[in-house]
Amino acid sequence: MREELLGPKVENVAVCVAKEMGETGEAIYNVYLLNLGEDIIEGIIINSKGYGEHPETGEMIKTSTLRHCMELMLPNEAAKIEAIVEEVFVIANEYWVSFYVDGVMHDKKFVFVAGSITEENMIDIPQLACKGVVIK
């Protein structure tokens, strides 16, 4: 019975921080939701927030909670959630994603742990034609 309360397992959905080039050639970072499966996902709600301790000062940092909505995403599609600044890479950045597939609600928390958004952790993201850090 406890397993029924957990809901269906979320597969083929990911969140990524993509490194892209701005208009003047500087690096900018954007967060995307990736639908990696063959299902249409709809009624998408995303809550994002950052939290943690600054590694140099020990100061506790907590960002605002932002909420984003999207009507639907087609299979193998990417959708921009928000821009993100490098200053928050030193804390955890959390994205709680809820959506429906065939009328069944799915949700999953994706957390970029403090210090995980680095060049060394970046991989190619075919849907975006750039590199980034992906959490599935």
DSSP class of residue 63 equals: P
Tally the residues of the chain.
136
pLDDT in tens, 49-95: 999 998 889 999 999 999 999 999 999 999 999 999 999 999 999 99
pLDDT of the residue at 66: 98
What average pLDDT does range 116-127 have in this prediction? 97
The Cα 70–Cα 99 span in angstroms is: 9
Q: Quote the pTM value.
A: 0.94
pLDDT digits (tens, 9 = 90+) for 15-31: 999 999 999 999 999 99
